[in-house]
Structure formats: C-alpha cells, structure tokens
Chains A and B, each alone.
Chain A
Amino acid sequence: MTALLSIRDLRIAYRRDGIEVPALKGVSLDMEAGERLAIIGESGSGKSTLALAVAGLLARGSEIDGTINWKIPKSQAPHSFALPSVLPDISPTRGEISSSAAGSPPATPAVGETDRDSSISPQVGEMSGRTEGGAVERQPFHLHDRPLLLGRDIGFVFQDPSSSLDPVMPIGKQIAEVARTHLDLTWREAYAKAKTLLQRVRLPDPDSALHAYPHQLSGGQKQRVAIAAAIAAGPKILIADEATSALDTIVQAEIVALIRRLVSEDGMTLIFISHDIALAASLADRIAVLRRGELIELGETSQIVNAPQQAYTRALLDAHLGLDAEPQLDRQGTSA
C-alpha cells in the first residue's frame, strides 16, 4: 500500500510579536489515494494549520520543519513533493527537510535528492485571498517536472465563502477562471464547464447563477459555488476546512451530502477538517484527533467512535449532544 500523502514530524510555529507560538508539535500521518480522512479537534488544536500546510497555504513568517510528501497517482512515475519550503525565508530548512526525509520510509524518496521534486510557492498562499477555492494564477518557483498545484491538484474549501469569493466578480467567471487557468480552456469552454459545475453542485437555475454576484446568494449557495470552484480543475485532493461550520444544520447536512457525492463520483481524496466528531464520523473512513498541536489518536472511524483509546477522544464523544443518546448533562443539580 503506497501512501498518497506522507507527513513526517511536521512542526509549525507562528511568530507573534516576536514570540514563537507552536501550532503543530511533530505530527506524522499517511493517507492513501481515495481515502476520506477527517481531522478533528477543538480550537487551538492545530487542525486548520495542518490543512493549510498540506495545501501550501501557510502564512508568511511561519516556521516550518518536517516533511509533507505527495505522490500523485495521475502521473506515471511517482513524484515526491517537498512542501515545507512554503516560504523563501525558511528555504534554508530545505537541507533539514532532505535529511529528515532520508530517515522516512523508502516509499518516500529523499526529497533533496530527486530531480523531480518541486514545491508549492508562497504565491499560492497570497493568491488564495482573492481567487476562490484555491484557484491559482501564478506558477510556483521551481518548475522541475510537474509541481503539485493548489487549484489543479488540490481543491480547498474554506469556512467562510463570503470572504473567499470575490464580491465584485460574477460567480460564473470566478469558476471559469479556475478551469481556464488549469485546464487550458478557452473562455467559452470554461464557461460551459462552469455551468456544468454549478449543475453538479445543485445550484438552482445555473444559467442565471453564472451571472449572479456572491451577495445575491445565501450562505449555503455560496458554499456550493466555492466547492464548484474548488473542483473546477478536477483536483485529486479536496480539503474542506470547517466548510460547514458557518451554516445552519439543514444546510450543513446538504453540503456534507454534496461533498460526499462529489468525492465518490470523482474518486477524490478528502481531507475534512471539523470540530464536530459526529459530522466527521458521518463522512470519513478514518479520523485523526488533534489536541494542542499533537496527533493524539488516529484510527478507523468505527474504532474511534466505539473504542477510543484516548480519554480525550472519549471526552469529545461524550460531549456530543446528539438526538440518539441521553445528553450527559447534569440536569438534576447533584453538584453545585
């Protein structure tokens, strides 16, 4: 079994007012192609940092150490990509990356030694604010062979579609732009593709929706558009970072169903970031539990839900207030 994604001892810290704040403290995990992995954790667990690091979207000034290796099955030969070189100012750590990668399993060749490695450039992160769903217009720094590209290989869905969609651009154009950039389409083809995508994400009346602006849509519809843009270039990996947290329960269920359908139709690999263990369990094959920057438990969904090894995971499960079990709240006031 070869891993699509292999993360080894990933450490990330942000600098704030000159103080280094660790966000991830040595996380290692592997993902297989076509797998649906949920990463759950509470605020400050580092789950979003992990998602951003995997997509190469980390903010300028983050300290990164460790490796993130990809093998894209689409291309013939297995390629390995070093992602931690997200920023020019941490590029000296490339040396560290190759040396640490040398210690990783043989399935992942040492990054610094292969001529096929390439990296996601920091521009990817800069662009994400404007173009939606991880659309990228600029090319990365190192174009050795075939760089892993956000938008083309990775689709990213953010929590808040209002801030990830361009408010002054018709949504059809925003989606078409992604398709045109990555698939070498003409505008006419890209618009046809955008319309198909809007149909796929079940947006009512896709013809007129092409010319609508984000403010004319509801929160759930905007998130559908964001998903359409994220999958416009047919990425192999879809990352959804709290993509349903800002939505109400009914819309959340619809968006989760949409993601599930699209992932299975296109055979995409899914990384689903959530704070909601029940939601994660409804979607994922495996669940990774993060706490304060550390991966404390990783296992099959049924194992995590039914036989959690860690007390923290058990506490998360117990804290869930569903409709199926008695809420474990102290209603009678036996304690003050």
Chain B
Amino acid sequence: MKRLRRFLHTPEAIAGAFILALLLVMALTAPLFFPGDPQAIAGPALLPPFQDWSLPLGTDRLGRDVLAELFHGARTSLAVGLAAAAAALLIGAVVGTLAGFAGGLVDEALMRITDAFQTVPSFLLALAFVSIIGPSLGVVVAAIALSAWTGPARVARAEVLSIRERDCVAGARVIGMHPLEIAFREVLPNALPPVLALSSVIVAAAILTEAALSFLGLGDPNRVTWGGMIAEGRAVLRTAPLLSIVPGVALMLTVLGVYLAGEGVVESTAVRRSLS
C-alpha cells in the first residue's frame, strides 16, 4: 500500500498507470464486449465512425468492426510486449549473471555472443527470424526477445561484477554453497533492480517491434494487431485516414504509458533506496 502511494507520487506515474490500466481493461474485456471473431465482417465496408452506434468507430475496408479490432489488438500488443520483455529480461539476467559470476573463459564466450547479437540491428534480426520460421505469436515473441536481451545482459553482468566481491558471496562460499546456487540465489536477486529498470524501455520497444512486424505482414495472421490495422488502413489512407490514425494513436499512448509508469517505478525505488 505504502509502495503504491509512493509510486503514485508523481503526475507522470499517475498518467502512466492510468493509460496502462485502461489498456489492461481493454485487453481483459475484449472477449466480453466483442465476443466472436474480431476479423469477421460486422457491417458495410468503410463505415465512418459515429454513424452507427452498434459500430461506434465504424468499419474498415472489409467491413470489420474497428472498435472490436482495437480491443483485441490491445490484447495482442500487451501479450507480445510483456512476454517478449519478460523473455528478454530472463535471458539477459541469466546470461549476464553467469558471465559476471563465472568470469574467465565463460565470461569471454558469453560476452562475445552478446556482442554478436548487439552488432546486428535488432529489428533486422527479428525480421529475419520471423521470415525464416514463419509468423506465429510464439515466433514473434521469440524474435523480439532475441533482439532485446543484450541490454539486460550487460547491465546484469556489470552489477554482478560488483556484487561478486561483497562479503555476502564470501559468506555463502564459506558455508559451502554451490556456485550456481550462489549465482542465482544470492547474487542475481540483488543484481535485478537496475536490470528491471530497463523493463519499461524493453516492453515499449517490444510493442513497437511487434507493430512493425505486423505492419510488414509478418505478424500472426490469425490475430488482430494494431500494426496490421495500420497496414490495412494504408490502402485507403486518403479516403478513411482514421483507420490508420486510431490504431496509431493507441500504439503511441501505450508506449507512452509504459514509459511513464516505468519512470514512476524507478523514481519510487530510488526514493526508497535513498531513505534506507
């Protein structure tokens, strides 16, 4: 409770939390408000918004309900963004901890692999990965995670290098704890805060990457995505610009919300640290 109050300390954090909450409600209530397939034809094609109250945001080129697509798109964006970020943080934290804690040859090998991943533009990597394996939700998540884990790995390694020298690691060694247990039970949890501080950036980037992949037609074809909606709307950009603008604004607000909420979390933990 106290933590929440401290988190909601700044107006930025409140705005971010509000946007994210809205997005979450959209994602969770999508099957309730819009049961059935959002890609099914719901009415006449290219119905402008606010004409028919059963289709408040109108329909697209194929007569699909834009509001339903928007709600279901939120599901995809959020799911892919969170899953990819979680996977990237997990891979990064594990690789960084192993490299930093083991040192020597293991460190060298792992960090050169990290370098290799970092030198390839991350979007290109995701693009190549999806084009080779084929677009499905799982592959998209894996592709995004694969292009985003290097940052967390570097941060985790740097943190582990300093924690490794602390007495608590020496203390764990003295009682005969296995090095892997020391690495993942004693060191990793203490190295996490700065790594987790990256999560908002990674979630935001993952949502954008997913949208970009969908825009290029490399998203999961069985799911509505905001990127896909923008791509759809592109064909009728002159006659019905809102078809691209609405999902675009949704995308922008989402990324903004993630950033602001992330800032709020970092701020509140920073305050807590300076207090203790």
Interfacial residues, chain A to chain B (CB-CB below 8 A): 16-17
Contact = CB atoms under 8 A, between A and B. Distances in A.
Q: State the 3 A-B residue pairs at the shortest beta-carbon distance, nearest first.
A: A16-B275, A17-B275, A17-B2
Interface residues of B, number: 2
A13 to B, nearest CB: 15
A17 B276 CA distance: 9
Contacts of B275: 16-17
Interface in B197-251: none
A62 to B, nearest CB: 13
A132 B2 CA distance: 37
Nearest to B272: A17
Interface of B: 2, 275
A16 B276 CA distance: 9
A16 B2 CA distance: 13
3 contacts: A16-B275, A17-B2, A17-B275
Contacts of B2: 17
A16 B274 CA distance: 11
Contacts of A17: 2, 275
A139 to B, nearest CB: 27
Nearest to B276: A16
A249 B222 CA distance: 75
Contacts of A16: 275
B211 to A, nearest CB: 41
Nearest to A61: B275
Nearest to B5: A18
A192 B118 CA distance: 53
Nearest to A16: B275
A108 B275 CA distance: 37
B57 to A, nearest CB: 46
Nearest to B6: A17
B28 to A, nearest CB: 34
B229 to A, nearest CB: 47
A82 to B, nearest CB: 29
A230 B195 CA distance: 41
A174 B168 CA distance: 36
B8 to A, nearest CB: 15
Nearest to A18: B2
B76 to A, nearest CB: 41
A17 B275 CA distance: 8
Nearest to A15: B275
B149 to A, nearest CB: 34
A191 B2 CA distance: 52
A163 to B, nearest CB: 15
A129 to B, nearest CB: 13
A63 to B, nearest CB: 16
B208 to A, nearest CB: 38
